[in-house]
A and B are shown apart, each in its own frame.
Chain A
Amino acid sequence: MARSNKSMRREAAVPFILKFLATLALIMLLAPVVVVILAGLNAGDHLTFPPKGLSLRWVIAFFQSDAFLPAYLFSLVLAVITMILSTILGTTIALFLARAEFRGKQMMRAFFMAPLMLPGIVLGLALYLFYLSSGLGLVRTMPGLVIGHVLVTCPYVVGTVNAALVGFDISLEEAARSLGAKPFKTFRSITLPVISPGIVAGSVFSFIVSFGQFDVSLFLTPPDSNPLPIALYSSLRYTFEPTAAAAGIFAIFLVVVSMLITAKLTNLRKLANVNFS
């Protein structure tokens, strides 16, 4: 019976112990999410768990909040801009690394990974200092913040596009070119289809990492416009409010929506892959 259904058969091939560990992993990932969602739907006056009944009062409070709603929207804009820039820069860098032959290429790959290895706060502090001393007028500005975000998200794009390029035969491009195709045409019809899962994966990473970014933002945040993680931090320093949990619900909601869109555009299973070597 199982044999007649191909997908059933393959799923049955997952050994029990692996299923058990996978379930454990999912529980571990999702337990705090569930707590926060319930806390955000709390009907009581304070952030309590278990919630005192369910209601939308804190969700409504989130929409009326002067602190959280603008921060949420600001983070959204920031993440979109970061995603676009990172995807473009990261893709071109990955293509360059795949095609160019020079000594120290491996070192260079390692170098593009480096922003992930440094603590975000160090990167933020170093950039803050650099903005000040260079006089580029980037201190406490939106462009200055975007630069920091691009630095920590670009490595993901480089990694995912690079992974998509593994095994890609560059001679295919050469063949197309020798048949008279223009460079751009070659890129569109030969290269792009190969690397597009990597590009999509990289942009999803960029978006999520930028939206949730705390460390890099801490010293680069412009006045009057806080990204959500910073707004939450400044607010929760003073007191834990249910509105913050409601804001958390909407951050998660955003991921769900963006992933549903991505799923419409591409096969989610194919998109994921990273490679830094």
Chain B
Amino acid sequence: MSAFLQTIGKPGRSALLAAPGLLFFFIFFVVPLVSLFLLSLDKPSIGNASVQWMFETRNFERFFGRALYYEAAFRSAGLAALVSAITLLLGYPLAFLIAKTTDPRRNTTLMILVLCAMQLDMVIRLFGLMVLMGDVGVINEFLRWAGLIGEQPLALMYNFTGVVVGLVQFSLPFMVLSLVGVIQGINPSLEEAARSLGARRWQTFWKITVPMSMPGILAGLLLVFAISFSSYVVPTLLGGWKVVVLPIHIFQQVAELGKWQFGAAIAVVMFVISFVVMLIYQRAAARASGGRI
């Protein structure tokens, strides 16, 4: 055994070690996904979920032939991009604050606060947000009391804003956690050196800290994009059906109308978009780390 392990070498051993994981992904991810893709190439029918091996493109023609669907693709991607940007804007400062907090107690407290927000169930969160952001919610009541708005409430939920807020809340912890370690890992003497050379605090931040944390920024952006792009439950509960994204269309087609083939086709479109985004990320990440070394 030992001799065998010697001969296959390190990559061989790690492949052997990873074999269960690779097999797992093959059986439970590749096979189901491929069958879903095959399904998308079948004739559209109602209430039939088995693959017929037809290899035709009617489902995709329908997707790209009707604005309702292809616009939803742009909406989904745009929404995910916007949420990623906002999450970065809010998450970076928070991660920076946590990374620069050296008192272990305060540090742990901050981390726990970030993580426990992640664990608030979506359906219960809906109630919480209704209380805060509804037409007669805390925010609108306050604005009314302060005389900033009239009778007409600000529409904060059951629309695009609501979905963005919901997704930002849900994905912010992922962004923060992608960043804290990276910011923490930046050698403080670099920042101190810049300061001692007369750089202002902001200059140090922009010229040293941000570029150095680029791998974390990119990973966080990718994670948040993935989470927002694929979320079904947030747009459903908080969007008031004004933000019909691709996952909602898939759900409608399969669970409501019994059209597995068309639902599968939309899933394929989503998969392709995700893969492209993923490859863009890898390019960017390679450039970022290349620039650093």
A residues near B (Cβ < 8 Å) are 6-7, 10-11, 13-15, 17-22, 24-26, 28-33, 35-36, 39, 47, 49, 88-90, 92-93, 95-96, 98-101, 106, 109-123, 125-127, 129-130, 133-134, 147, 150-151, 154, 159, 163, 166, 170, 173-174, 183, 197, 201, 204-205, 208, 211-212, 214-215, 228-229, 232-233, 236, 240, 244-245, 247-248, 251-252, 254-256, 259-260, 263, 267-277
Contact = CB atoms under 8 A, between A and B. Distances in A.
Contact of A35 (B131, B188, B230): B131
Given A33-B120, A130-B31, A232-B124, A21 B15 contact: no
Judged by DSSP, the binding face of A is helix
The 8 closest A-B pairs by CB, nearest first: A273-B181, A117-B274, A32-B128, A277-B285, A96-B18, A29-B117, A89-B21, A7-B102
A251 B117 contact: no
A68 B168 CA distance: 27
Contact of B29 (A14, A90, A106, A114): A114
Contact of B251 (A30, A121, A150, A270): A121
Given A113-B222, A125-B255, A274-B223, 14 more contacts: A22-B93, A22-B94, A25-B176, A32-B128, A33-B116, A100-B14, A110-B275, A110-B282, A122-B36, A183-B5, A255-B118, A256-B112, A273-B182, A276-B222
22 contacts: A21-B94, A25-B94, A25-B176, A26-B114, A29-B172, A33-B120, A93-B22, A99-B10, A106-B282, A127-B32, A130-B28, A133-B50, A151-B25, A208-B119, A212-B118, A215-B231, A236-B124, A245-B124, A259-B111, A274-B220, A276-B282, A277-B282
B156 interface: no
Given A13-B100, A173-B10, A118 B271 contact: yes
A18 B93 contact: yes
B61 interface: no
Interface string B142-180: 000000000000000000000001001100110011111
Nearest to B254: A125
Given A120-B232, A127-B28, A255 B119 contact: yes
Contacts of B21: 88-90, 92-93, 96, 154
A130 B201 CA distance: 56
Query: Which secondary structure dominates chain B's binding surface?
Result: helix
A35 B121 CA distance: 13
A274 B219 contact: yes
A90 B22 CA distance: 10
Contacts of B35: 126, 129-130, 133
A10 B33 contact: no
Contact of B115 (A15, A134, A208): A208
Interface in B210-254: 215-216, 218-220, 222-223, 226-227, 229-233, 246-247, 250-251, 254
Interface string B123-141: 1110111011000000000
Contacts of A35: 127-128, 131-132
A185 to B, nearest CB: 12
B62 interface: no
Nearest to B227: A116
Interface in B82-123: 89-94, 96-104, 107-108, 111-123
A272 B274 contact: no
Contacts of B223: 116, 159, 274
B42 to A, nearest CB: 13
A92 to B, nearest CB: 4
Given A35-B131, A277-B281, A122 B120 contact: no
A121 B278 contact: no
A277 B5 CA distance: 28
Nearest to A40: B124
Contacts of A19: 93, 97
B286 interface: yes
Contact of A89 (B24, B117, B229): B24
B116 to A, nearest CB: 5
A47 B127 contact: yes
Contacts of A244: 123-124
Nearest to A228: B121
Contacts of B181: 163, 197, 201, 269-273
Contact of B121 (A95, A134, A205, A229): A229
Nearest to B99: A269
Interface string B17-44: 1101110110011011101100000000
Nearest to A92: B18
Contacts of A233: 123
Contacts of B271: 114, 117-118
